[in-house]
């Protein structure tokens, strides 16, 4: 794909990203990378700063001076949220961020609103319906009336409609029944096969590492560990830290 030059070995590069809410230090000099087409998981307990990090990448909040966020050879630090989607980063936020009073069809059409996606709307819609056949059947349904799992599908599908190079997912499995979570991760595995990069924030260690290439551990605003997905799966520290949340 022309929009993904092969010489860029690092697609997303975070250097010393620091986030404060007033006096409160939420993210402390985090540096991390995602390569093109790579799937990376950030594992961490509640309050670790995972959501804040994703919000800073997607321009919803501004990181502190000294932070640098580079995406595909562009400095996107401080780029406003509505321009980030156009640059090729799509966020599926905590709480899904859908337009609840609108239909599935309208939500997906809005997903293709950024200029980079408009001409591709038809192809993207086919891809998305292929990934989530249920959405093809429910096009006219008002999103608010759908189950949590179905809404999460709409949220992911809407993000994919923008033809992203990197998809950010903030705890996609949160609040879903175990069987729905399984289905969700199967879908994510197939999305990964399409070549899009994935940065997933999760508390579900086993399933998320199961589809990932690499993972980072995050505690109290800092990255405290990093490794290949396979290594992390067998790592004692990970096992201990997340024993309570392993599914």
Partner 1 sequence: MLIDTLITGLVAGGTYALVAMGLTIQFGISRIMNLAHGDTIIAACFASFILFSVFGLSPILALMIVVPAGYVLSDAIYRLIMRPLVARAPNAGALEVDSILVTFGLLFVIQGVLLVAFGGNYTGYTFLNTPVDLFGTIVAANRLLALFLALVFGITLIFVLSRTRWGMTLRAVSIAPENAPLVGIDINRAARTAFALGGALAATAGVVVSMYQTFTATIGVIFTMKALIVVILGGKGSLTGALIGGLLLGLVETFVAAYIDPGLTLAATYTIFLLLLILRPTGFFGQAG
Ligand X SMILES: Nc1ncnc2c1ncn2[C@@H]1O[C@H](COP(=O)(O)OP(=O)(O)O)[C@@H](O)[C@H]1O
Q: Which of partner 1, Mg ion, ligand X, none has residue 44 at its interface (CB below 5 to 8 Å by kind)?
A: ligand X
Burial class (CB in 10 A: 0-12, 13-18, 19+), 12: buried
The least distance separating partner 1 from the CB of residue 111, rounded to whole angstroms, comes to 6
- Interface contacts to ligand X, rule CB under 6 A: 21, 24, 26, 44, 46-52
Closer of 37 and 100 to partner 1 (Cβ): 100
Q: Does 51 bind Mg ion (CB under 5 A)?
A: yes
The least distance separating ligand X from the CB of residue 86, rounded to whole angstroms, comes to 25
**b/e map 82-117, b = 16+ CB within 10 Å:** eebbebbbbbbbbebebeeeebbebbbeebbebebb
- Interface contacts to partner 1, rule CB under 8 A: 58-60, 80-83, 85-86, 90-91, 93, 97-102, 106, 109-111, 113-115, 118, 158-159, 162
How many other CB atoms are found less than 10 A from the CB of residue 71?
A: 23
Q: Which of partner 1, ligand X, Mg ion, none has residue 214 at its interface (CB below 5 to 8 Å by kind)?
A: none
178-193 and 148-161 helices, crossing angle to 10°: 10
CB-CB contact of 59 with 81 (8 Å):
yes
Q: Which of ligand X, partner 1, Mg ion, none has residue 210 at its interface (CB below 5 to 8 Å by kind)?
A: none
- The two tokens of residue 78 are 């401080």
- The two tokens of residue 187 are 């879908």
Closer of 37 and 86 to partner 1 (Cβ): 86
Round to whole Å and give the CA distance between 150 and 157: 10
Q: Which of partner 1, ligand X, Mg ion, none has residue 82 at its interface (CB below 5 to 8 Å by kind)?
A: partner 1
Q: Which of partner 1, ligand X, Mg ion, none has residue 47 at its interface (CB below 5 to 8 Å by kind)?
A: ligand X
The least distance separating ligand X from the CB of residue 114, rounded to whole angstroms, comes to 25
CB-CB contact of 70 with 148 (8 Å):
no
């Amino acid at each position: 794909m022309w929009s993904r030059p092969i010489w860029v070995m690092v697609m997303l590069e975070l250097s010393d990203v620091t986030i404060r809410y007033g006096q409160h230090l939420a993210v402390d000099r985090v540096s991390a990378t995602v390569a093109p087409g790579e799937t990376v998981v950030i594992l961490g307990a509640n309050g670790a700063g995972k959501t804040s990090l994703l919000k800073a990448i997607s321009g919803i909040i501004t990181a502190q001076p000294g932070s640098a966020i580079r995406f595909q050879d562009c400095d996107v630090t401080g780029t406003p949220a509505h321009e980030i989607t156009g640059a090729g980063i799509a966020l599926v936020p905590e709480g899904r961020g859908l337009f609840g009073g609108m239909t599935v069809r309208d939500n997906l059409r809005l997903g293709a609103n950024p200029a980079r996606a408009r001409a591709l709307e038809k192809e993207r819609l086919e891809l998305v319906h292929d990934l989530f056949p249920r959405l093809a059947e429910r096009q006219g349904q008002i999103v608010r009336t759908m189950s949590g799992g179905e809404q999460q599908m709409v949220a992911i599908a809407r993000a994919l409609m923008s033809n992203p190079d990197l998809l950010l997912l903030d705890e996609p499995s949160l609040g879903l029944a175990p069987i729905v979570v399984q289905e969700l991760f199967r879908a994510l595995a197939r999305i990964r096969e399409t070549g899009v990069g994935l940065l997933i924030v999760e508390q579900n260690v086993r399933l998320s590492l199961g589809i990932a290439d690499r993972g980072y551990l995050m505690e109290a605003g800092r990255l405290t560990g990093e490794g290949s997905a396979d290594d992390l799966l067998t790592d004692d520290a990970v096992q201990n830290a997340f024993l309570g949340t392993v599914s």
